[in-house]
Amino acid sequence: MHIDDVIDIVRFAHASPELSGVLNVAAPEASDSRGLMSTVRRVLGVPIGLPARRWMLEIGSAVIRTETELVLKSRWVAPERLLAEGYRFRHPSLEPALRSILRKS
C-alpha cells in the first residue's frame, strides 16, 4: 500500500460524508509474503533472498514485542467499498508502487 493512496483515501473519506463505518485501506492487487519479497528483490536488484524461517520471525517478534502470528497469518482484505464508491488508486500494483517509493527516497 503506497502512502500516497493512504493519504488520498483519508481525504476521500473525509470529503464523502455518506461513507461511514469500516473501510479496508488495502491495495486492490494483494500479494502474499513470497510475492512481496520477490518483488522487493527485483525492484532493489537483489538476485537472491534468504527465506524467513519461523524461528527467525519468533526472535524478531520477541524483540519488537508482538505476536509472531501477526506476521505468519495472512490477512486478505479487498478495498471493495472504496472501489464501489469511486476511489481510484494511484498505485494499485505492488511493483510500480515500490518503484515510486524508491524514486522519492
Integer Cα distance of 87 and 49 in angstroms: 35
Task: Give me the pLDDT at residue 84, please.
Answer: 95
Would you say 9 and 19 are in contact if contact means Cβ atoms under 8 Å apart? no
Which domain does 21 fall in, by range?
3-104
Predicted confidence (pLDDT) at residue 5 exceeds the cutoff of 90: yes
- C-alpha R_g of the chain: 16
Task: Give me the pLDDT at residue 46, please.
Answer: 94
Provide mean pLDDT across the span 41-63: 90
Which cell numbers in the block locate residue 68? Answer: 509472531
Q: How many domains does the chain have?
A: 1
Task: For Cα atoms 75, 89, 103, give the angle at the middle one, nearest 5 degrees.
Answer: 95
Which cell numbers in the block locate residue 80? Answer: 471493495
pLDDT band at 86 (very low <50, low <70, confident <90, very high): very high
